[in-house]
């Protein structure tokens, strides 16, 4: 193995620092790679956090694999079918997916990954047929999912999309449902169909008037190692989960006040502090994107009503991930949701 690099795709550009991106592709280059069976993202020392994936493309000098949401920075190993192993000389950096905030089409519905409400396409047919529906990603024209259903006139049919496709969860962007084959002429989409829609990974967590902080100590790294962003809103403004997942902690802490930590479905850690009252969710609960968590407050070590929000790289909050500056993402989420 000579190098491990990020491989850009139309829906997933690579960061300039050459790091791999969760959900993106990793390309391994070297010699005699044709017998490769597995790619291992090693993470830290020890096997407990190793993530093993099957490569998508295997050739003599080139192997491609999707970077799992659970993968974290560390060496990368390839294993061939004879048990032979080769490990990268250097630690490969793995970063969260870049900010992708698709422009929303005026009037087109919006959906959020992991939310309860899913995009839905419904139609009726003029004659009995086996109708085929495809979900297409606008960025690269790729077909993400296909449905085939037997339809009879007078029986409305519908399909809905759960955000998944080949290789798992799909990136943010614009998508559309389309009828194919015979159905193109013999099926009629219902007026309420979400034929074309925008799809986002997160929702902005404060649901009401707010500001994103005034810089300085409100920002990531401001004050003495501030690990999040302080955003101000009236006490009582609803706070929701930016991304669904599993509630890792929901409780009270002398400094954090009423707080919630969520292990996101995307592998990132999401932290909400100083909420007014006891959280509306409990530890261990699985929650969707947009789940109500509580209200902006000033409990714990807080001055003024605000939400202290943290974002951690996989595998999350004080579990080996590291805090990342959430402000660029908060700005993007705030602009569309």
Q: How far is the CB of 222 from Zn ion (least distance, A)?
A: 9
Least distance to Zn ion from the beta carbon of 232, Å? 11
C-alpha closest to that of 205 among 233, 247, 225, 170: 233
What's the min distance (Å) between Cβ of 336 and Zn ion?
Answer: 24
287-316 residues near Zn ion, rule: CB under 5 A: 308
- Residue 230 in contact with Zn ion, rule: CB under 5 A: yes
SS3 (DSSP) at 97: coil
Burial 162-192 (b: 16+ CB within 10 A, else e): ebebeeebbbbbbbbbbbeeebeebbebeee
Stretch that binds Zn ion, among 67-75, 192-200, 227-235, 285-293 (CB under 5 A): 227-235
Taking the complex as a whole, the smallest distance from the CB of residue 301 to Zn ion amounts, in Å, to 9
Nearest CB to Zn ion, comparing residues 85 and 234: 234
Q: Smallest distance, Å, CB 333 to Zn ion? A: 18
Return the range that interacts with Zn ion (CB under 5 A); candidates 34-42, 80-88, 146-154, 228-236.
228-236
DSSP per residue over 161-173, as a string?
--SEETTEEPPSE
Could you tell me which of 74, 101, 92 has the C-alpha nearest to residue 17? 92
CB nearer to Zn ion: give 243 or 308. 308
Is 72 near Zn ion (CB under 5 A)? no
Return the closest-CA partner of residue 320 out of 242, 259, 268, 262. 268
Min CB(315)–Zn ion separation in Å:
23
Nearer to Zn ion, 45 or 224 (CB): 224
CB of 112 closer than 8 Å to CB of 201: yes
- The region of 5-13, 207-215, 224-232, 285-293 touching Zn ion under the rule CB under 5 A is 224-232
Site string for Zn ion, 193-212 (x = CB under 5 A): --------------------
Using CB under 5 A as the binding criterion, the count of chain residues that bind Zn ion stands at 2
The CA distance from 316 to 322, in Å, is: 7
Q: What is the DSSP letter of 218?
A: G
Residue nearest Zn ion, CB atom distance = 308
User: What distances in angstroms separate CA 92 from CA 21, 46, 102, one per listed residue?
Assistant: 11, 16, 29
Pair 149, 131: CB distance under 8 Å: yes
Q: How far is the CB of 214 from Zn ion (least distance, A)?
A: 12
CA–CA separation, 261 and 272 (whole Å): 7
Using CA atoms, how far apart are residues 31 and 78, in angstroms rounded to an integer? 12
Q: How far is the CB of 219 from Zn ion (least distance, A)?
A: 9
Q: How wide is the angle at C-alpha 103 spanned by C-alphas 310 and 190, nearest 5°?
A: 115
Task: Look at the block and give the residue holding tokens 């993530």.
Answer: 51
In the bound state with Zn ion, the residue whose beta carbon lies nearer, of 72 and 308, is 308
Q: What's the token pair of residue 316?
A: 């999350």
Check residue 329 for interaction with Zn ion (CB under 5 A). no
> Of 33 and 330, which has the nearer Cβ to Zn ion?
330
Among residues 313, 235, 247, the alpha carbon closest in space to that of 274 is found at 235
CB of 230 to Zn ion, least distance (A): 4
Segment contacting Zn ion by CB under 5 A, of 17-25, 48-56, 78-86, 222-230: 222-230
Which backbone phi and psi does 82 adopt, to 5 degrees? -100, 5
What is the per-residue binding string for Zn ion in 121-160, x denoting contact by CB under 5 A? ----------------------------------------
Q: Which is nearer to Zn ion, 193 or 229 (CB)?
A: 229
H/E run at residue 57: strand 57-58
Nearer to Zn ion, 244 or 326 (CB): 326
Residue numbers at the binding site for Zn ion (CB under 5 A): 230, 308
């Amino acid at each position: 193995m000579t190098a491990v690099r990020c491989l850009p795709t139309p829906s997933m550009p690579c960061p300039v620092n050459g790091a791999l991106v969760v959900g993106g592709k990793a390309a391994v280059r070297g010699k005699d790679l044709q017998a490769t069976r597995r790619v291992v993202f090693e993470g830290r020392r020890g096997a407990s956090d190793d993530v093993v994936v099957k490569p998508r493309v295997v050739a003599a000098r080139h192997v491609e694999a999707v970077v799992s949401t659970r993968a974290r920075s560390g060496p990368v190993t390839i294993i061939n079918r004879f048990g032979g192993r080769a490990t990268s000389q250097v630690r490969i950096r793995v970063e969260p997916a870049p900010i992708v905030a698709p422009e929303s089409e005026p009037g087109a519905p919006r959906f959020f990954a992991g939310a309860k409400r899913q995009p839905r396409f419904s139609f009726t047919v003029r004659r009995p047929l086996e109708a085929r529906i495809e979900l297409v990603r606008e960025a690269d024209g790729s077909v993400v999912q296909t449905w085939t259903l037997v339809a009879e006139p007078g029986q409305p049919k519908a399909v809905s999309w759960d955000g998944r496709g080949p290789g798992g969860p799909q990136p943010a962007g614009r998508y559309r449902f389309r009828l194919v084959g015979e159905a193109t002429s013999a099926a009629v989409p219902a007026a309420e169909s979400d034929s074309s829609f925008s799809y986002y990974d997160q929702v902005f967590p404060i649901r009401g008037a707010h500001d994103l902080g005034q810089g300085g100590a409100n920002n990531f790294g401001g004050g003495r190692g501030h690990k999040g962003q302080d955003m101000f809103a009236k006490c009582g403004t609803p706070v929701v989960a930016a991304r669904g997942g599993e509630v890792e902690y929901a409780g009270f802490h002398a400094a954090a006040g009423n707080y919630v930590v969520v292990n996101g479905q995307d592998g990132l850690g999401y932290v909400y502090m100083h909420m007014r009252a006891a959280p509306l969710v409990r530890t261990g609960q699985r929650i969707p994107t947009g789940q109500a968590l509580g209200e902006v407050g000033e409990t714990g070590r807080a001055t003024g009503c605000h939400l202290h929000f943290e974002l951690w790289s996989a595998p999350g909050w004080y579990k080996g991930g590291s805090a990342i500056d959430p402000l660029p993402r908060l700005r993007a989420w705030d602009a569309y949701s």
